[in-house]
A and B are shown apart, each in its own frame.
Chain A
Amino acid sequence: MTRARRSGLAWLTALALMAALAAGLVVASSPRRPATAQDAPAVTVQKAHAGSATPTLKRRVVLLTIGSDSGAPKFGRGGSVEGGRADALQLVVIDTVKRRGSILSFPRDSYVNIPGHGTNKINAAMAFGGPRLLVATFEQLTGLTIDYYALTSFDGLTDIVNKVGKVQVNVDMNLRDSFAGAFLNKGKRNLTGGQALAYARARKTLPGGDFDRSRHQGQLLLGGLGTYQRQVKQDPAKVMTWLGIIRDEVKTDLPFPELLRLALLATDVPASQIRSIPVPSVAGSAGGASVVRLLPGAYSLFGRLRAGKLS
């Protein structure tokens, strides 16, 4: 054997040895990986469980939602939101246990007693004494304790709807109202902020006038609830988006923790379980001004609410 051949053989032997050693080490080391969660043998520790919950609040929550005709610079409305007249008035009554409720829509011209101010249109109460007096007026009228109010303006309503990205409303009639700028066809419509405001304001061309308008305002609230629920179902973090918008656009005496709890509860109250009820009333006049007088049916409605039979 030549020296060159012997040298080559030695290299080959060494390489083969190293390869064998390396292979041996790899094989030997494989089962020695430290145990991880993925390595765990298939012992079933947990069965599948699912659950969810939203807050359980006191049995009934009554919220007065108010749309002011002031404090809306975008619409040329000066003054403060709280110092204006309350042109949209809904009483929202939620049974938090049965997860159902009612929205009572009041015509703004309802002729009622305002504590300390005699009889007048209900929308004047806020101009006389701010939201507190308006709440007191409603409490005296209905016999219900109103827990909180939520107040916004034209600007606030349009901003809310635009920021949440349109609100789906069941428009109940074809509308051609140039006074309010409402041009909508009957059916399910996704309304922009401007369209939502127009729908809430249109009155002059509607057959029922103020009655139709207050019903539309109730529909708008329900549409907002449905839109909120759909968005939160898709993305639970939308609760924070909506709360942020409400924080910026709505004046309320709701403490934040209660606002959050109500917002969470609202995800759990099907819109189909909320009835929109126009308060029974009839057109009339007082001192030459056109007003709306509540009918006896309105007072029996309040009685049923007080007894917890409606919400």
Chain B
Amino acid sequence: MGEPQLCDISVSGRQGIRFPHPDVPTYPLPQEFVREDLPLPELSELDVIRHYTRLSQLNYSIDTGYYPLGSCTMKYNPKINEETARYPGFAFSHPLQPVETMQGNLALMFALQEMLKEVGGFAGLTLQPAAGAHGELTGVLIIRAYHRSRGDIKRDKILIPDSAHGTNPATSAMTGLRVVEIKSDLRGNVDLESLKQECDETLAGLMLTNPNTLGLFDEHVEEVIHMVHAAGGLVYGDGANLNALLGIIRPGDVGFDVMHFNLHKTFSTPHGGGGPGSGPVGVAAHLMDFLPSPVVGIIEKGDEEMPPLYGFITPSKSIGRMKSFHGHFGMIVRAYTYISMHGGQGLRAIAEHAVLNANYLLSLIKGTYHLPYDRLCMHEFVVEGQWADAPDIHALDIAKRLMDYKFHPPTNYFPLIVHEALMIEPTESESKETLDAFADALIKIAVEAHHEPGLLKDAPHVTSVGRLDEVKAAKELVLCCGVSVHEK
């Protein structure tokens, strides 16, 4: 059986760490406020270390294997990042300290702002957003504030292609804007005719992921942006797929007005089993005044003898604060470390090899798996996880069978516009040998699907647990140790 739960191994009287006795007089506790019971587990330090070490061993991770999740950019996370972010001068700095004591942090944040602006082709940038979706919310609020500042209050419509991540429509809905979906054309681009019909005086903007979630660079990107601008709208860039573009093209140059970066995808900060991320937002010159407060700026220019004095600045028409404090500083240090180790040429090499790896893998499997859009791809691609002559096999079965070959499956059932989608993003970190082995597994599974479909249907076989009863989980709702949530 699996690892016991903490509440099962708790023994009354154990404690994993002790603290010094008070070196001050003790004061009467406010008895009317003192709680009677605190039902937390009681464990020794070794209990805790063994428990979580064993749990960690039930995980698949980049450090243990190939993780080709589409749109997630599961590249190697360098170990030096983990060292630099923990330097005491960084890790022990309080967010509300006087800026005079924090010039190291502020100089680093300023430098990263400059680096990201240069990579994306933007005039202004905030490091505050905590994640990609939080960056989207920041960006869409900026678009909304821009129109309103011009008295253009009828613009309440956001266009979102049908291939977009779910966060795009969810974000727009949070800001009170109306979401209208735009179709993709037969080559996976934004359908220009559908777009044209929606380009009217109510258009606030378009949220565009480019390359899109099919892994395709929109062949009409200039025309799309031009149409939106001509109608008075702004173009939001979802930077989820920026890994394909580093040093290849700067989104700001083509006319994207605002874009979020994902430091946890493109710039190697670890995904941590779901977070933390970091979602800085870059903007064109006409949107700089709307950035959330605060941004890092120079408040006193330096000279040969004195470095400049950095501080926090609130832009004049700022949308306000997106969270407490200044952003995920620990992630900012990691991304700064990573970009500094690459330089301009190094970043371009990342994109080139990410795209080479994707096209190489695609070439190896495209005779075996159906490819809905047969073009050169960017950093990822989508194939169909089903065959006409094996209709009982689904993308899910292929995904689960890959686990038996010791690979993490690709993203599946996304994007929604591809039937039984398997979305594969190799990243630049992976070697030819790894890609060859992965392609071999996919090809073997295709053969199994036709001759021994049971192997797929019952998969996975070698993992610590098999397929789960998700209906039971949702019905019984056991969300805490030993407690079932029975709803009214």
- Do A and B belong to a common assembly? no
